[in-house]
Amino acid sequence: MSIFISDDVRNALANGEPVVALETAVLTAGLPKTSWIEEYGERPNIIDAELPINIALAQAMTHTVQSGGATPAWIAVVDGTLRIGLSPEEIVELGTNPNAGKVSLATFAQTIQRTGSAGTTVAATLVACRLASKENPIRVFATGGIGGIHQNWANRLDVSADLTALATTQTCVVASGAKSILDIPSTVEALETIGVPVLGLGNSLFPRFIEKNTDGDPYVHQVDSPDDVATLCKHHWHNLHLPSAIFATLQAPPDVALEEGELQEALVHAENDWAGLNQPSPTRTPFLLDKMAKITGGKSLVANLALLCNNAGAASEIAIALTK
Ligand code: PSU
Ligand code: MN
């Protein structure tokens, strides 16, 4: 199997400079591939409204990481090669490839064998963080929300391999909690079981992805600065030699986060529509996200894009703090 690491990423890691890994399942399966103008009219100021939304988001996150002082490492499987550090052109190619779905731990080898292309989930991206360098793996990774324990798990078990990878990778994952369609309290319990410290950077409650927190949400360990996150990472990995990730959570920016319950109704509609379609389970997340965006007039999508950029900014600060 071939792994390709871009010169930028390779040099930054070799020199002990800050690097932030970025997943591409959000580009291939999580966000619309149409432009904002085509879909929603009024423009958000976070992204370029003329480009496909997924590509525009990638550009915005790249810019955020770079202007924060870190090197972005977009990760994907392209034509059967695991690529660590995609160029802007490669991101456009992947993000517009209609055959590129998402790849996780169980589908990694088969995607390589059939020389396929796919966006990497949190789990697959964490594998790449480890493979990037034996001595200096990528220590920080930004995304929107992790996978976890699905609702209704007691009837039919559905647990994301993201948890498996979080249990076994010494990387700090920066995200706004877990996908909104999950069983959040169960996901938080599972993170405890697998030994992943859950921190809140400025928040004491586990974020609800694009929604504001509500009473009764699970508590997290609040920290107040990227330096605090870095110190905790060093204790966890270098002093205690624990094998697991650190999960640094951030709330969605308050000016765009949805109010309590705003999403719930949209989600119920979307779930009903999906149930009637009888589609295979990998299509569920993209379908629900798209429906929710339509039902909320683009509001859920604005919040999603804003938190992704916000998390990328925090991740570069944490990456810098870790190099001190
Ligand atoms: N959060 C979202 N949308 C997504 C994902 C997360 O709001 O599309 C992606 C991430 O890449 C995450 C993956 O790692 O879904 C988890 O998928 P699964 O449950 O199939 O493991
Ligand atoms: Mn699943």
> What pLDDT score does 130 carry?
98
Q: From its phi and psi, is residue 297 left (phi > 0), alpha (psi between -120 and 50) or beta? A: left
Tell me, in angstroms, the distance from the centre of ligand 1 to residue 131's CA: 21
Please tell me whether residue 244 adopts helix, strand or coil conformation: coil
Residue-wise DSSP of 53-82: HHHHHHHHHHHHHHHTT-EEEEEEEETTEE
Distance of alpha carbon 28 from alpha carbon 35, whole angstroms: 14
pLDDT for 273-310, tens place per residue? 988 988 887 788 788 888 888 888 899 999 999 999 99
Write down the pLDDT at residue 1. 64
Contact 150, 159 (CB under 8 A): yes
Q: Is 179 a catalytic residue?
A: yes
The arithmetic mean of pLDDT across residues 26-54, rounded, is 89
Return the ligand number nearest the Cα of 289. 1
Number of residues in the chain: 324
Nearest to 88, CA basis, from 60, 53, 69:
60
Cα–ligand 2 centroid distance for 292 (angstroms): 20
**Ligand closest in space to the Cα of 307:** 1
Ligand 1 geometric centre to CA of 87 (Å) = 23
Question: pLDDT tens digits, residue range 196-254?
Answer: 999 999 999 999 999 999 999 999 999 999 999 999 999 999 999 999 999 999 999 99
Torsion angles phi and psi, residue 156, rounded to 5:
-145, 115
Q: Is the dihedral of CA 62, 300, 103, 153 positive or negative?
A: positive
Those residues whose beta carbon sits under 5 angstroms from the ion ligand 2 are 158
Number of H helices, E strands in the chain: 13, 11
Band the pLDDT of 73: cuts 50, 70, 90: very high
Which residue in 23, 211, 262, 317 is the catalytic one?
A: 23
Q: Reply yes or no on domain 3-322 having CATH 3.60.15.10.
A: no
Please report the pLDDT score of residue 209 as a whole number: 96
- Ligand 2 mean position, distance from CA 58 (Å): 25
142 pLDDT more than 90:
yes
Which ligand is closest to the CA of 177, given by its number? 1
Domain boundaries along the sequence of the chain = 3-322
Q: Which atom of ligand 1 is nearest to the CA of 120?
A: 11
pLDDT bracket for residue 181 (50, 70, 90): confident
Statement: residue 5 has pLDDT above 70: yes
262 is catalytic: no
Cβ atoms of 65 and 58 closer than 8 Å: no
Q: 147: Cβ below 6 Å to ligand 1?
A: yes
Q: Is 145 in the pocket of ligand 1 (CB under 6 A)?
A: yes
